Structure 1
Amino acid sequence: MGRVRKALRGRLVAGGLVMAVAVVGFGLYWFQPWKLWQDTTVDEALPGAVASSGPPAVAPSATVAGSGAPADGPSTLASGALVSHEHATSGMVKLLRLADGSHVVRLENLDTSNGPDLRVWLTDAPVKEGRDGWHVFDDGEYVSLGRLKGNKGSQNYTLPDDVDPSRYTSVSIWCDRFDVSFGAAELARA
Structure 2
Amino acid sequence: MGRVRSALVRPWVIGLLVLAVAGAGFGLYWFQPWKLWQDETVREALPGSAVAAPAATPSAPASSAPASSAPAAPTTLASGRLISHEHATSGTVKLLRLADGSHVVRLERLDTSNGPDLRVWLTDAPVKEGRAGWHVFDDGRYVSLGKLKGNKGSQNYAVPEDVDPARFSSVSIWCDRVDVSFGAAELARA
TM-score, structure 2 as length reference:
0.89
Q: 2:161 maps to which residue?
A: 161
- In structure 2, runs of 5+ residues without a counterpart are 54-66
Residue deviations 1:85-123, cap 9 Å, x none? 110000000000011110000000000000111000000
Structure 1 position 2, deviation (Å): 3.6
Structure 1 residue 24 and structure 2 residue 24: aligned?
A: yes
- Asked if the contact 2:120–2:144 (Cα under 8 Å) also holds between the matched residues in 1, the reply is yes
Helix, strand or coil at the partner of 2:149: coil
Q: 1:62 maps to which residue?
A: none
Task: Work out the CA distance in 1 between the residues paired with 2:34 and 2:154.
Answer: 23
Q: 1:63 maps to which residue?
A: none
Q: 2:36 maps to which residue?
A: 36
Q: Higher Cα Rg: structure 1 or 2? A: 2
Structure 1 position 184, deviation (Å): 0.4
Task: Work out the CA distance in 2 between the residues paired with 1:15 and 1:137.
Answer: 41
Structure 1 position 20, deviation (Å): 0.9
Residue deviations 1:60-87, cap 9 Å, x none? xxxxxxxxxx862211100001001110
Task: Work out the CA distance in 1 between the residues paired with 2:95 and 2:75.
Answer: 9
Q: Map residues 18-97 of structure 1 onto 2, 5 A cutoff.
A: 18-52=18-52, 58=69, 72-97=72-97
Amino acid at match of 2:25: G
Q: 1:122 maps to which residue?
A: 122
Amino acid at match of 1:46: L
Q: 1:98 maps to which residue?
A: 98
**How big is the alpha-carbon RMSD for the aligned residues of Structure 1 and Structure 2?**
1.8
TM-score, structure 1 as length reference:
0.89
Task: Work out the CA distance in 1 between the residues paired with 2:68 and 2:154.
Answer: 25
Structure 1 residue 12 and structure 2 residue 12: aligned?
A: yes
Amino acid at match of 1:117: D
Amino acid at match of 1:11: P
Residue deviations 1:13-68, cap 9 Å, x none? 11111111111111111111111111000010111102549xx964xxxxxxxxxx
Task: Work out the CA distance in 2 between the residues paired with 1:18 and 1:85.
Answer: 36
Identity over aligned pairs, percent: 78
Task: Work out the CA distance in 2 between the residues paired with 1:156 and 1:124.
Answer: 20
Helix, strand or coil at the partner of 2:15: helix
- In structure 1, runs of 5+ residues without a counterpart are 59-69
Helix, strand or coil at the partner of 2:144: strand
Structure 1 residue 178 and structure 2 residue 153: aligned?
A: no
Change in CA separation of 1:27 and 1:42 when aligned onto 2, cut-off 3 Å: same
